[in-house]
Every structure is written in C-alpha cells, then in structure tokens.
Amino acid sequence: MFTRHTLLATSTLAMTLLAGCGSDSDGNATTTPPQSQQATFSLAVSDAPVTNLKAVWVAFDAITLKAQGGNSVTFDLKSEDGSQSVRMVNLLDYTGDDIYQLLADQNIPPGSYEWLRADVVNGDSSNYTLTSHVVYNDETMAPLVVSRKGNDGIGEIQMNSFSLLAGDNQFVLEFDLKKSLVDPKNNDEIKLKPTGVRLENLAQKTKVSGDISAQLMADCEVANATLAGLDNRFEHAVYLYSATVETPADIYTEGEQQSATSPLATSLVSIDADDQQGEYEIAFLSTGDYKVTYTCLAHLDNIETQDADFTLYRTQSVTLTGTENDVDFTE
C-alpha cells in the first residue's frame, strides 16, 4: 500500500525547546550536544477505522516529550499554511500503514523519555472548524473529547516509556478507533480513550494482512444468525492478541485499564467488490508470536462492557517476521 506523507513545512511549526537548546524548565542553562550525539525525531499518526463514521477529526495543539528525570521539549502545532492555531487531521484518511506526518526531523537529545503527550483541543459544537469532532455517515456531527485533569478544553493522550537513539527516529501514534471511541448514552459527546492508542517505532515494526474467504464469512453469519445487528447486518473484523493470551476475549476497558485478554489491535474487514472476499491489514507491530483471529460479531463488542455473546470464529497462531506477513482465513 502506498504510504502517504504530508511533510511539515518549517515555517508552520512554532517550536519551544526546553531541553538541549540553551534553556530548560528549571532555568538552568544547557548546551546543545554535538550533532553526532543528537537524535532526529519524527512523529506521524495513523488509525484503524470504525463503522458508522465518515470522519474523525482530531485538533492537535502540541506535542511534548519529557526526558527521564530531566526536562521537556514542546512542539506547538499550527495548520500547515499557518492560518489556524491547531493541526486538524481526519484520522480516517490515514488507515492501515498510511500515515500523516505531524513532526519531521526535529533535533532533540537522545536517551530515555518518561512520556510523550499529545494535547488536543476537545470538541465544541459551536466551533467544529478548530475543535475535535466526528462526522457520522448521515453528515451529523458530535464533539470528540479526551479526558484531562482540569477543565481548560484541552485533552491529553499520553504514551509512557520510550527511547530515542542517536540518529533518525520515526514514530507513529496508531489510533485503534474500535478500541478507543466511546459513545456515552447520557450526552452528545464522543469520548476518545487513550487506551486504544499505541506509540510505535517504525524502524522496528512489521505488519500482517490477508484475505477472508466469502464462504467463511457466510458460514460465520449463518452460525450466528440470532446475533445479527440492525438491518440483519454483521460486522466482520480481525483481532490480534499476544500469543500468551490463552483465552482471547472481547475489547473491554475498565476505567483506563485494558483487560489482559483483550486484543492488542483490530482491523475491520473490507469487502472486495469483484470477488466478495474480505481483506484486512494491521500495521506497526513488533515481530514475534501472536494469535490472529476472525469474527463476524464485532458489532456486539462494546469497549465499556464485557459482551457475553461475542465470540471468535477462527484463530491462527502465527510468528510475525520481517516487514510484511500474509495470514489468510479460508475454509
């Protein structure tokens, strides 16, 4: 698949360096390390999509990295032409291994970092142009919000514990929207839970993709006919689990903690118009041992509940190596 890069123009990035550039958060002067001891840091975003939505707009305000036991470095984001105070990104434009570049080749000190935090402007129904929001298939919209202490209209997506090596470092924030979007029934907002977001180093990652036969998908629907969703529809998906999970289960997050038996990543199955076979792709994965599973009951899987009727129809144990892996599901 073609990887889309939207490069960041230098003139559009307002950057505040609090470490390694002559000042720090404690007011102590620092010196810039020699070029051979610096790291270049790039950050992109991508997503695994969900049904019923045609757009998921995230208003990125700033990216902050906190060094282990040290200082912070913050990059303030604007629109690419500099006309807007935030960077608006429709995550559904960048699925699978397609990416949108938020930051490119920024020089910062290498080493261990406590966390990376993406600040986003929470949704406001009076100003969808500059705030996070979702667009449904029927063109209606709803604010998208991320939790944060305080009530200043900014949400936080924080990823803990990662390292930057001297030289080039390319990371991606992978939004698994099936695992992160919550539709509370008591208000009009959609909540984005950071538990469904991964920070991955592209240099160390592989992907898995494949086909699901039309016959297998039909068999799954027949076997689960009483569990069909609205309009007698099913939602076909592939779930990926650690090989150590003995009994893979549904997506479930209690508070801000994922269940130990929940999937690491998911992918909705798309249908090829010519042969009616299903296709899926999960990118930005570490090499190693996994369980790749198929279900036609993803429409039953709610992130906030343990869904007793949810089951997996097929499971394969695989070892992912190299940069690409094919795992098909057939009869």
Region of poorest pLDDT, from 61-70, 252-261, 274-283, 322-331: 252-261
- DSSP state string for 192-206: E-GGGEEEEEGGGEE
Write out pLDDT tens, residues 170-216: 999 999 999 999 887 767 899 999 889 999 988 878 999 999 999 99
pLDDT digits (tens, 9 = 90+) for 91-142: 999 998 899 999 999 999 999 999 999 999 999 999 999 999 999 999 999 9
- Of 90, 70, 74, the C-alpha closest to 26 is 70
- 123-149: buried (b, 16+ CB within 10 Å) or exposed (e) per residue? bbeeebeebbbbbeeeeebbbbbbebe
Report the pLDDT value the prediction gives residue 150, as an integer from 0 to 100.
60
172 in Cβ contact with 284 (< 8 Å): yes
Q: Which residue has the tokens 């307002």?
A: 14
Residue pLDDT, tens place only, 231-272: 889 999 999 999 999 999 999 877 667 788 899 999 999 999
Residue 2 pLDDT grade (very low, low, confident, very high; cuts 50, 70, 90): very low
Q: So what's the architecture of 207-326 in CATH?
A: Sandwich (2.60)
pLDDT score of 1: 31
Are the C-beta atoms of 6 and 101 separated by less than 8 Å? yes
Are 305 and 252 contacting, i.e. CB atoms less than 8 angstroms apart?
Answer: yes
